[in-house]
């Protein structure tokens, strides 16, 4: 789970919509995750690996992004695409991602080794959209500590993940953003805290 990619994947609690054009046809889809170099998108349009398509999307109110992509992988209706746009498209995508993380609409999760400890670091939103990767890090990779100092929004599902980590897996809560610290204090003293027993 240690993220060794050159560009970190950004995940979404609610997948943004995307319009895809390919071979004279167009269809709606959704963005599963995005990075500086490309994205994973879900569509029923029969895209073909090695070909190019056009994509148009907005990330939670960002300016409309219109970018050509190369289709590089497929698993069912999930396609990996690499951005083919120029520097202006790249700046627009990067700005939209940064704004989405700041609002908590997007999330980045990674495991880092710090002084011999495995630290799960979460930035942006801590929500149900991170469940699979969070639990993989917890149960398969092993985590000693969770750093939520860059969490900008947290919901009940995100708090429940942390309760499971601390209560059942004895993971230590590390640095915390103010929004997380407030929600965490209420969670461990409220109904979610009952899971700790």
Could you tell me the residue ranges of all domains in the chain?
10-103, 106-190
Q: Specify the pLDDT at position 188.
A: 81
Please, which residues have CB within 8 angstroms of residue 193's CB and are 6 or more apart in sequence?
163, 187
Question: What fold characterizes domain 106-190?
Answer: Transcription Regulator spoIIAA (3.30.750)
Q: Specify the pLDDT at position 189.
A: 81
Vertex 65: Cα angle to 53 and 2 (nearest 5): 80
Cα–Cα distances (Å) from 78 to 5, 6, 22, 134, 151, in that order, read: 19, 21, 15, 21, 28
Q: Specify the pLDDT at position 13.
A: 86
Q: Residue 194: helix, strand or coil by DSSP?
A: helix
Task: Provide the residue-wise pLDDT of the chain in tens; the chain has 197 residues.
Answer: 344 444 588 999 899 999 999 999 999 999 999 998 999 999 999 999 999 999 999 999 999 999 999 999 999 999 999 999 888 889 999 999 999 999 999 999 999 999 999 999 999 999 998 999 999 999 999 999 999 999 999 999 999 999 999 999 999 999 999 999 999 998 888 765 554 44
Task: List, in sequence order, the alpha helices (H) in the chain.
Answer: 87-103, 131-136, 156-168, 178-189
For the segment(s) 10-103, the CATH number from 1.10.10.10, 3.30.70.3420, 2.40.10.220, 1.10.3720.10 is: 2.40.10.220
């Amino acid at each position: 789970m240690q993220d060794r990619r050159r560009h970190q994947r950004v995940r979404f609690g609610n997948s943004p919509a995307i319009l895809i054009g390919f071979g004279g046809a167009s269809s709606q889809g959704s963005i599963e995750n995005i990075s500086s170099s490309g994205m994973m998108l879900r569509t029923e349009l029969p895209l073909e690996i090695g070909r190019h398509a056009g994509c148009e999307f907005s990330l939670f109110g960002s300016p409309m992004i219109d970018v050509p992509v190369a289709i590089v992988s497929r698993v069912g209706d999930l396609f990996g695409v690499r951005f083919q746009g120029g520097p202006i498209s790249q700046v627009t995508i990067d700005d939209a991602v940064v704004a989405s993380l700041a609002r908590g609409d997007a999330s980045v999760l990674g495991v880092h080794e710090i002084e011999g400890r495995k630290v799960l670091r979460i930035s942006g939103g801590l929500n149900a959209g991170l469940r699979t990767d969070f639990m993989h890090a917890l149960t398969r990779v092993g985590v000693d500590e969770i750093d939520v100092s860059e969490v900008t929004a947290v919901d009940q599902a995100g708090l429940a993940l942390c309760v499971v980590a601390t209560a059942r897996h004895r993971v230590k809560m590390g640095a915390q953003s103010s929004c997380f610290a407030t929600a965490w204090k209420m969670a461990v003293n409220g109904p979610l805290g009952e899971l700790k027993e």
